[in-house]
Amino acid sequence: MSVTDKNTAIVKQTAAQLGFDYCGIAKAGYLSDDARRLESWLSKGMHGTMQYMQNHFDLRVDPTLIVPGAKSIITILYNYYPAEQQVDGAPKISKYAYGKDYHEIIRKKLNEFLSLLQQQIGDIQGRGFVDSAPVLERSWAQKSGLGWVGKNGNLIHKAQGSFFFIASLIVDLPLTYDDPFAKDYCGSCTRCIDACPTEAILPDKVINAQKCISYFTIELKEELIPEKNKWDDWIFGCDVCQDVCPWNRFSKQTRHAALKPITEIINFNKQDWDELTEEKFKLIFSKSALKRTKYAGIKRNLKFIQK
């Protein structure tokens, strides 16, 4: 076994040891196709008020600018499909936000991942990213053989659907690379497009963020929402396009205890949400992704779905 193959085996074994559900590896390089798509998407203003999407364009499409000397992109998937669901009739929360904030959970694991690799292999420079830096995680996941990008813009794993967090570890270590996932198994299915309440899913896997419920409920900071759409009672994120995806019939309940749903998210009914005070919000959701939209945002969204 070559040194490269041996190091690759260490990477895969360490990922499994840390509890990551899947791990794939791709060669670091410039994402020319993604650069064209991203430039077109931004030029059409589909990012709405998410100005950060315009920042660091070069870094988004070239990881060697993020980690000088980068040789490999290690992509991991972390299943978040919950065992429990919200009570019937409650204002809806996206499943990824049922438990503690995944940024904190996975960032800690990525730091441990790099540290363990350094202990076993030697001097490695690298950085871990989870949905908070200019890294195109879905593209790297596809290039790492972990799945394909569906019509709803989500990565779909053939064996387990799309309810995964995606994270990247960019390292200056040459490794044996997985074959890219070459086939798109969405076929002629248009369930996600047909089911989207706000018609945010466009042809060619383009998502108009300005129409997306997740954008309205989380990203948009204005006091008054610019247009009224059919929100289907979502107050934080939206899972409609994933819930209707046939591939998610293969979803398995997460085995990660750190993602156990916050009791109130599962049990709160409409009245509980309406009566929620700012003090209780800060206490209950201090370690939740819901803090991203803040108390005022949740109250705004609750008011909007009741109109």
Catalytic residues: 131
| Closest to 129 measured CA to CA, from 45, 70, 82, 182 | 70
Phi-psi region of 294 (alpha: psi -120 to 50; beta: other; left: phi over 0): left
| Closest to 142 measured CA to CA, from 176, 185, 196 | 185
Burial class (CB in 10 A: 0-12, 13-18, 19+), 154: buried
In the chain the first and final C-alpha atoms are separated, in Å, by: 65
Concatenate the DSSP letters of all residues of 131-172 into one string. SSSS--HHHHHHHTTS-EE-TTS-EEBTTTBS-EEEEEEEES
Phi-psi region of 304 (alpha: psi -120 to 50; beta: other; left: phi over 0): alpha
**What three-state secondary structure class fits 299?**
helix
β partners of residue 148 = 156
For residue 36, how far is the Cα from the chain centroid? 22
Torsion of CA 13, 5, 139, 127, to 10 degrees: 70
Long-range contacts from 196-204, C-beta under 8 angstroms, 24+ separation: 196/152, 196/240, 196/241, 197/229, 197/230, 197/231, 197/232, 197/238, 197/240, 198/229, 198/230, 198/231, 201/151, 201/152, 201/153, 201/241
> What does the alpha-carbon distance between residue 49 and residue 219 come to, in Å, rounded to a whole number?
8
